[in-house]
C-alpha cells in the first residue's frame, strides 16, 4: 500500500505500489491489472494518481466473500511475480505478461512454456465460475492512438421528429 493512515488503515480506496516489481523482474502494473481479468476481476485503474500503481476501489456493496476472493487473487499473483523474481518463470513468457487469456487462446496452439491450466484457472474457484475475456493482450498505446469505432455514426440514431412530438 502506497499510502496508509496513522494506524496502517486505508480509506474506501487504496493504491498498490507495483513499481518495485518492475525493478526486480520486469512485472508492471499493466501485467497485474490484466492478470486480474483471468481471475475474474475488472482491471483496476492503472497509474492514477501515481504512475506505476493500481488504484483498488471496492464498493461498499461488495460482500466479504468477494473481498476475500480479491485478496486471494492478489496473493496468488504475488506468488506468480515471485516465481519470475526467482527465475522459476521466464521473464517474458509467463502468465502475467500474456494475460488475459481467452478461451480461444487456450483451445488453439499453445506457444508458451507455462501450462494452460495455470493460465486459465489460477485459483480453484474458477473451475466453478469463470469469466472469459473476449480479447487477449493488446498494445494499449497503439490502441489509444488508433481507435477504431465499429458502431454506427451518431446520425444513424437520430429519428425524424413527427408532428405528434
Query: Is residue 34 situated within a structural domain?
Result: yes
Q: Are 110 and 116 in contact (CB under 8 A)?
A: yes
Of the chain, the percentage scoring pLDDT greater than 70 comes to 96
Output the pTM of the full model: 0.83
User: Over the stretch 80-114, which tens digit does the pLDDT of each residue have?
Assistant: 999 999 999 999 999 999 999 999 999 989 999 99
Query: Is residue 1 situated within a structural domain?
Result: no
Q: Across the beta sheet with 53-56, what order do the strands follow?
A: 14-17, 53-56, 45-46
Please, what is the angle between helix 29-38 and helix 64-85, to 10°?
Answer: 130
CATH code for the domain in which residue 122 is found:
3.90.1150
Q: Is the pLDDT of residue 165 over 60?
A: no
Range of the domain at 79: 14-157
pLDDT at 163: 62
Q: And the C-alpha cell for 17?
A: 505500489
Number of domains in the chain: 1
Amino acid at each position: 500500500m502506497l499510502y496508509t493512515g496513522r494506524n496502517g488503515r486505508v480509506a474506501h480506496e487504496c493504491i498498490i505500489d507495483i513499481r518495485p516489481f518492475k525493478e526486480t523482474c520486469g512485472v508492471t502494473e499493466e501485467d497485474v491489472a490484466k492478470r486480474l481479468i483471468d481471475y475474474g476481476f475488472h482491471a483496476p485503474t492503472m497509474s492514477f494518481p501515481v504512475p506505476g500503481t493500481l488504484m483498488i476501489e471496492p464498493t461498499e456493496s461488495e460482500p466479504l466473500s468477494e473481498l476475500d476472493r480479491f485478496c486471494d487473487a492478489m496473493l496468488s499473483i504475488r506468488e506468480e511475480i515471485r516465481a519470475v523474481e526467482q527465475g522459476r518463470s521466464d521473464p517474458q513468457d509467463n502468465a502475467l505478461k500474456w494475460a488475459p487469456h481467452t478461451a480461444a487462446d487456450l483451445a488453439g496452439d499453445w506457444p508458451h512454456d507455462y501450462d494452460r491450466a495455470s493460465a486459465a484457472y489460477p485459483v480453484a474457484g474458477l473451475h466453478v465460475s469463470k469469466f472469459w475475456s473476449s480479447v487477449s493482450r493488446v498494445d494499449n498505446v497503439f490502441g489509444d492512438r488508433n481507435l477504431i469505432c465499429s458502431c454506427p455514426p451518431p446520425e444513424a440514431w437520430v429519428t425524424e421528429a413527427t408532428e405528434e412530438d
